[in-house]
Amino acid sequence: MAVNDRRKTWCRIVTALRRKLKPNIPWVIKYRPRRIEEVFNQDDAKKRLIPWIKQWVEGKPPSKRAVLLHGPPGVGKTSLIEAIAREFGLELLELNASDYRSSEAIRRTVGVAANKKPLYGKGIIILLDEIDGIAPREDAGGLRALLDIIPRTRNPIVMTANDPWKDQLRPLHQVAELIQFKPLTVTQVVAILQRICDLEGLECEREALRYIAEVERGDVRASINDLQAVAEGYGRVTLTLVKMLVRGREKKQDIFITLNQIFYASKFWRARAAMSNSQEDYETVIAWLNDNIPRKYEDPRDAFRAFDALSRATIMLNRAKYGGSWALLTYVFSLAGPGVAFARKHAPISKMRYAYPERIKLLARLREVRETRERLAGKIANATLSSKRQVKSEILPYLFIIFREAEDPIPAARLALGYNLDRKEVEFLAGHRAREIMEAIEKIKKSRGPIEMAREAREKKPRPQTTMVEREEETKPKERKARKKEKKPSSTTLDSFFE
Ligand SMILES: Nc1ncnc2c1ncn2[C@@H]1O[C@H](COP(=O)(O)OP(=O)(O)OP(=O)(O)O)[C@@H](O)[C@H]1O
Ligand SMILES: [Mg+2]
């Protein structure tokens, strides 16, 4: 065997082992650009966005205090702003459409964030992802509130949208800089796919990669997803396989269009195409169908047949995903599309409006929990001068025991006070015992005499919190250095607590 062949065989064995040991994470996440230079082919956007952020960092907010990044899906809008935040050491406060529906919600989230002081001496970027999710009529109040906040924000606001020319977004053009992201060319997408193939040690035909890139028309996310689907199913990526499996998404569609085309379909093929061309992933469409069948089909017999078809579609989808037989997708399209559409026989379709699926709402709630965990880990990491990762793996497990299992709530309450935890963070750590611990916190606070409180306040001496702009203006570089040297861990650490 030639040395080269032997090397290749080893590479494949090692990769196969690595894949076995490591759970398959989506490649769009695994290969998400971490640094600015890893976001390919968006040089024009970088040339405008980076100087704009630099102005903020230097304490000279630009005249337009928001930017609107626009362009087709999957071309690097979110990735670039995440990479910039990482490289400039800024905190990224990410909100998505569900956080800014009404004017009330906007004021509560964006309004508060706009005046927020950075937690750990860094600046903040407020990211309003997919702002085109704002509905023109129902959420008009939200948009007005946003227009009010932008000119006065003390932190940069970055919005993203696919189509900035939608009527409801036009007023934003006055207050935000528009920065365009272009779809990548076929050659550029092929280069990204080829890099992934090399890193995964995958055998990929160049023609197959070209085919994917052409069908997905410059959408890197969709192209990487296609590549992963074929590679995981068959262990190699050839033109024949790709032609068979990658349908492309000729016309990307809004979820409500997909639902209408299924529930109101008059032709079998239309319902099927609605399912296969949907912009959302198949699981999301199934979740929407699942929660909306009972709203649209009033006769239980119709609903029964529709659920029956949908449950079979779910089985097929799982077999395709976990068993690697992607050919089964064809049944998913037929069962979830026409299977649901033609289940209705006994009653006319109801006029009830579509409801947001519970499962997706739950995922949003889980996201909130993740965010609390991150914030908490950040606070403790700051106080104990360790990394967030260390806190999560070495400190949080003990805190869970102290907060949830210990009979006496006082130690947990003391820790909460020492780390200055808020109610959400205490709830995260304490679960069902949160109330008990909050009460203990109040008791401790009350029992502390004025002398003790004053001493504590003196010891803690919180740094005056200012916004990025104010701080940069106030502090000269030399002073900043001196302050950095002075920085000490806060008075309560786990060690000191157990001493
Ligand atoms: N220009 C690029 N260079 C490298 N990878 C990219 C690029 N664009 C997209 N990707 C890949 O595609 C994935 C999705 O990109 P991203 O979330 O930034 O797209 P987006 O433009 O924000 O799309 P959407 O409008 O749907 O939110 C990323 O995780 C990354 O793997
Ligand atoms: Mg995005």
**Ligand 1 center to 170 CA (angstroms):** 24
- Cα–Cα distance between 232 and 215 in angstroms, integer? 20
Count other Cβ atoms within 10 Å, centred on residue 451. 8
Closest-approaching ligand to the CA atom of 181:
1
Longest dimension (CA), the chain: 82
* Helical H segments across 204-299, by residue range: 206-216, 220-234, 239-245, 255-263, 268-276, 282-296
Ligand 1 atom, smallest distance to 31 CA: 31
Nearest CA to ligand 1 atom 17: 78
Instruction: For residue 362, give every residue at least 6 positions away whose Cβ sits within 8 Å of its Cβ, in sequence order, or none.
Output: none
User: Going by CA atoms, what residue is nearest to atom 18 of ligand 1?
Assistant: 76
C-alpha to C-alpha distance for 133 and 98, rounded to whole angstroms: 8
Q: Does residue 486 surpass a pLDDT of 50? A: no
* CATH number corresponding to 36-180: 3.40.50.300
Amino acid identity at 392: K
Pocket test for ligand 1, best of 30, 34, 75 (most atoms within 8 A of CB): 75
Q: Which residues of 341-370 are buried (b: 16+ CB within 10 A; e: fewer)?
A: bbbbeeeeeeeeeeeebeeeeeeeeeeeee
CB 262 within 8 A of CB 337: yes
Instruction: Tell me the HSE value of 298 on the side-chain side, using a 13 A CA sphere.
Output: 6
| Confidence at residue 491, expressed as pLDDT on a 0 to 100 scale | 42
pLDDT tens for each residue of 10-57:
766 666 555 554 445 778 888 999 999 999 989 999 999 999 999 998
Cα(74) to centroid(ligand 2), Å: 7
Pairing type for strands 124-129 and 157-161 reads parallel
Site to substitute for ligand 1 among 41, 78, 128, most atoms within 8 A of C-beta: 78
316 has pLDDT over 90:
yes
Give the C-alpha separation, 340 to 310, whole Å. Answer: 7
End-to-end CA gap in the chain: 64
Tokens of 332: 């998913």
The Cβ-side half-sphere exposure at 284, using a 13 Å CA radius, reads 13
| Closest residue to atom 13 of ligand 1, CA basis | 221
- Strands 203-204, 91-96: pairing is unpaired
Q: What is the pLDDT of residue 226?
A: 86
Instruction: Please name which ligand lies nearest the alpha carbon of 221.
Output: 1
The least confident of 13-27, 237-251, 282-296, 410-424 is 13-27
CATH code for the domain defined by 3-28+184-245: 1.10.8.60
The DSSP output letter for 217 is T
Atom of ligand 1 nearest to the CA of 161: 25
Q: Are strands 66-70 and 91-96 parallel, antiparallel or unpaired?
A: unpaired
Dihedral angle of Cα 118, 120, 126, 127, to the nearest 10 degrees: 180
Lowest mean pLDDT among 36-40, 169-173, 456-460: 456-460
Nearest 5°: the CA angle 318, 322, 326 is: 75
Q: Which ligand is nearest to the CA of 132?
A: 1
pLDDT digits (tens, 9 = 90+) for 263-306: 988 888 889 988 887 777 888 899 999 999 999 999 999 999 99
Q: How many Å lie between the centroid of ligand 1 and the Cα of residue 116?
A: 28
Tell me, in angstroms, the distance from the centre of ligand 2 to residue 389's CA: 26
Burial (CB count within 10 angstroms: exposed 0-12, middle 13-18, buried 19+), residue 429? buried
Distance 159 CA to ligand 1 centre (A): 15
Ligand 1 binding pocket, CB closer than 6 Å: 28, 31-33, 39-42, 73-79, 130, 160, 162, 192, 220-221, 224
Q: Which ligand is nearest to the CA of 191?
A: 1
The CA distance from 161 to 169, in Å, is 9
- Nearest listed ligand to the Cα of residue 37: 1
pLDDT in tens, 178-212: 999 988 999 999 999 999 999 999 889 999 999 99
CA of 120 to the centre of ligand 2 (A): 26
User: What's the CA-to-centroid distance between 31 and ligand 1, angstroms?
Assistant: 10
Looking from the CA of residue 184, the nearest atom of ligand 1 is: 1
Ligand 1 center–CA 150 separation, angstroms:
26
